[in-house]
Structure 1
Amino acid sequence: WETRPVSAFPQLFTWEEIRIHNGRGQGQEQWLVIDRKVYDVSRFSKQHPGGSRVISHYAGQDATDAFVAFHNDKSLVKKYLKSLLIGELAPDQPSFESNKKKSLLEDFRELRCAIEKMGLLKPNYAFFFLIFLHLLVLDAASWLVVWYFGISLAPFLVGIAFFTVIQMGWFQHDLGHCSVFRKPKWNRLLQIVVINVLKGLPASWWNHLHNQHHAKPNCFRKDPDLNMHPLLFSLGKTLSMELGKKKKKFMPYNYQHKYFICDILLVHLGGIRDTIKCFCVYLPRYLESTWFIWVSQMNHIPMDIDYDKNKDWVSTQLHATCNVNQSLFNDWFTGHLNFQIEHHLFPTMPRHNYWKVAPLVKGLCDKHGIEYKSKTLLTAFVDILHSLKDSGEHWLEAYLHG
């Protein structure tokens, strides 16, 4: 990485100067701020281990809390930052844009320090060993049932049921967030085994997309989970009305809440013809994909969806996520992603500690007048369809009368 010289008296910048270096102007330079220090990541973004886009999404913005949330070994990462340092915020420049945001972020950072002291960011190896063991048992059971009882209908369906259980997907998700082992390299190594070998998907591809999602959830053009828009779905009021006013009609969006399940089928199976020809091969994949999509989207689609408004880390995560009530079944069924709020605020936290930190996060929200949403599992699923229906109606109204 190229080292830019910094004098004994660091160059001082204003927020106005920093914001224009957002990757779209000034020769597409990308600057960001971490702990009031200004870094030029224009070239480094392409070499960033977490993917080029995730760091670019914070160009022209303060990335302090995102940096802390994504990196466990901050002392190691800060060594690499030295070569990218170009200056600091001027003394008259605020660290936060408003007093309300300052108070919220200061309280959140105090909460994170308390959580670290409580040891809630450290993994319980016994817990994850049992998770890994039980998913291997389920996977082996699916093949043993078919091998022992044959491929008649009943054993086949039982085998499908075992094979469909998506616990392996949740486990690789833990590994992708480096929450199973303390050292990132061990997480990455086992993740390759689980997702590359056992699931047949590239770990690097998944990490690159998922890191972006966590950096800017529910932000158009920055959250890859919204890339289906507008070819299949119209999401959120703002973008739905924008599509309607432009007379865009890739799909009949006013019916999207009805064709949601059918589109999952087409997207994951590659078409009806392949589904019919390869039913036995694709059925487990379809069931697993459907399970994954309903669980992953129940926490996000019903929430705020818009362009990036450069909100602080806490507000960004809370406005884009909601929880599902805790129970043994919900914890297992969702891979503890029913605690989506805690997961997004602390993405490297081991999932077995979400329930411990949840009351502390709720207390923070209550103090600052922020709604802490938690629903039943069924309500969360139904809200996906309600949200799609509302967005479709906004699109139709703008399409007809905009």
Structure 2
Amino acid sequence: MTATATQSDYSALSLRIREAGLLRRRYGYYTIKTAGTLLAFAGAWVGFAFIGDSWWQLFIAAGLAVVFAQLAFLGHDAGHKQIFRTRRPNDILGTMHGGLIGMSYQEWVGGHTRHHANPNHEEHDPDLDISALAFTTKQARLKKGFLRWMAKHQAWLFFPLLTLEGLNLHVSGIRAVLKGETKARRIEGALLTAHVVGYLTTVFLVLSPGLAVLFVVVHQALWGVYMGCSFAPNHKGMPTMTGQSADFLRKQVLTSRNIRGGPLTDFVLGGLNYQIEHHLFPNMPRPHLRLAQPIVQSFCAERGIPYSQASLLRSYRHVLEHLHEMGAPLRAADRAVAAV
């Protein structure tokens, strides 16, 4: 197929999407969504204050993990200009949400933009550059020492490692501010400082030391698992790209996976379950992704382009099977050495 033909494919699909009105802004939806999420955030901390030094606080920790993820989803939408038409108001909203949960919005947007440009590309997608995991056979071969041991057993270690994702987001944000790798260094530095100081001060003032530590561990671990479980099914286990990539439409569709489900799935995964539609039209408002899905799926069927969907549980199985497969050569090599 010629380059002109493949470019016209995306143009034809875009025309259908525009004619359906699915790129128009949804200010009412995002006003309600943002207000509701901020109210839940405030309510959780009010409940924290009223409950006091009690083991019941672990339920607040679990609730805050959900609220933190929902705030992160709104920051994600702002980063793609899904909320407002222009960059500045989106950045203001995204930076505010990042500050509330203790991560650098600007640093995250930079990496996520590179991911969208080259999803699942072995050399250019930062989401494939995770030292603790091997997503390709090449990455597995390059592992040494303890990282090699982790790569051999990464399918078993995957979910336990996700408990550290919240901490990783905090550390990455702080590192970006300290190194000046964020466009809003002063603002984000102040917000991150306020978050860390305010969060730890509040927790340790209200709770006894042991319970305070447990609260932080439960909250951050569950938030990390929630975030990892929301993003991992989207591309992991899908084909990886190397060298020259395909045209835009096929590059985005072939490397992405949708998650089947209804409104509850949409809420829990923040719209990321429509990963194919999101990658094709990253500035499409979240509530329109469900409406775009049948249009995109039908278009792909017309063009003979594979369109991947799975249930949430099946998607995790795909991820774990892929990780297990990537570690297989390392396990085989070790068995061969042991047999000598």
| TM-score grouping bracket, smaller chain normalisation | 0.7 to 0.9
Give the aligned partner of residue 135 of structure 1: 37
Q: 1:115 aligns with which of 8, 17, 22?
A: 17
SS of the residue aligned with 1:293?
helix
CA offsets 1:281-317 (integer angstroms, 9 cap, x no match): 2321221111111110111111112424322111211
Return closer, same or farther for 1:388/1:239 CA change in 2, 3 Å cut-off: same
Q: Which stretch of the first structure deviates more once superposed, 182-191 or 172-181?
A: 182-191
Q: Percent identity?
A: 27
2:159 corresponds to:
261
Matched, 1:185 2:83: no
Deviation at 1:325, TM superposition (A): 0.6
Note the C-alpha offset of 1:243: 3.5
Who is 2:65 aligned against? 164
* Equivalences for residues 382-393 of structure 1 within 5 A: 382-393=317-328
- Offset of 1:193 from its aligned partner? 1.3
2:280 is aligned, of 340, 345, 353, to 345
8 A contact 1:142–1:159 mirrored in 2: yes
Structure with the larger RCO, 1 or 2 (CA within 8 Å, 6+ apart):
2
Q: Which range moves more in the overlay, 306-315 or 184-193?
A: 306-315
1:202 counterpart = 2:104: yes
TM-superposed CA distance for 1:249, in Å, is 6.7
Task: Kindly indicate whether the alpha-carbon contact (under 8 Å) linking 1:142 and 1:158 is maintained by their aligned counterparts in 2.
Answer: no
Q: Could you say what secondary structure the match of 1:378 adopts?
A: helix
Q: Distance in 2 between matches of 1:264 and 1:352?
A: 28
Distance (Å, rounded) in 2 between the aligned partners of 1:336 and 1:374:
14
In the TM superposition, residue 347 of structure 1 has moved relative to its aligned partner by 0.7
Residue equivalent to 1:224: 126
- Equivalent-residue separation in structure 2 for 1:358 and 1:352 (angstroms): 11
Higher helix share: 2
Report if the CA contact (8 A) 1:243-1:399 is conserved.
no
Decide whether aligned partners of structure 1 residues 387 and 152 sit closer, same or farther in structure 2, where only a CA change above 3 A counts: same
Aligned residues: 293
Tell me by how many angstroms 1:399 deviates. Answer: 6.9
Contact in 2 for aligned 1:141/1:159 (Cα 8 Å): no
Q: 2:302 aligns with which of 352, 359, 367?
A: 367
Is the contact between residue 9 and residue 249 of structure 2 (CA under 8 Å) also seen in structure 1?
no
C-alpha deviation, 1:277, in angstroms: 8.6
2:116 is aligned to 214
* Partner Cα distance (1:199, 1:297) in 2: 20
SS of match in other structure, 1:379: helix
Secondary structure of 1:153 counterpart = coil
TM normalised by structure 1 equals: 0.67
For 1:202 and 1:288, how far apart are their aligned partners in 2? 16
Structure 2 CA distance for aligned equivalents of residues 390 and 180 of structure 1: 39
Gap change, CA 1:269 and 1:348, over 3 Å in 2: closer
* Secondary structure in 2 matching 1:305: coil
Aligned to 2:147: 250
| Structure-1 separation of matches of 2:297 and 2:8 | 16
Moved more, 343-352 or 363-372: 363-372
The letter for the 1-side match of 2:275 is Q
* TM score, norm. by length of structure 2: 0.79
Please identify the structure whose Cα radius of gyration is greater: 1
1:323 and 1:339 in contact (8 A); partners too: yes
Deviation at 1:102, TM superposition (A): 4.0
CA deviations on 1:71-103 (whole Å, 9 max, x unpaired) are xxxxxxxxxxxxxxxxxxxxxxxxxxx43x543
- Any stretches of 5+ residues in structure 1 without a counterpart? 1-97
Matched, 1:293 2:228: yes
How has the CA–CA distance of structure 1 residues 313 and 397 changed in structure 2, closer, same or farther, with 3 Å as cutoff? farther
Quote how far apart the aligned CAs of 1:110 are. Answer: 1.4
C-alpha deviation, 1:378, in angstroms? 1.2
Shift of the alpha carbon at 1:118?
Answer: 2.9
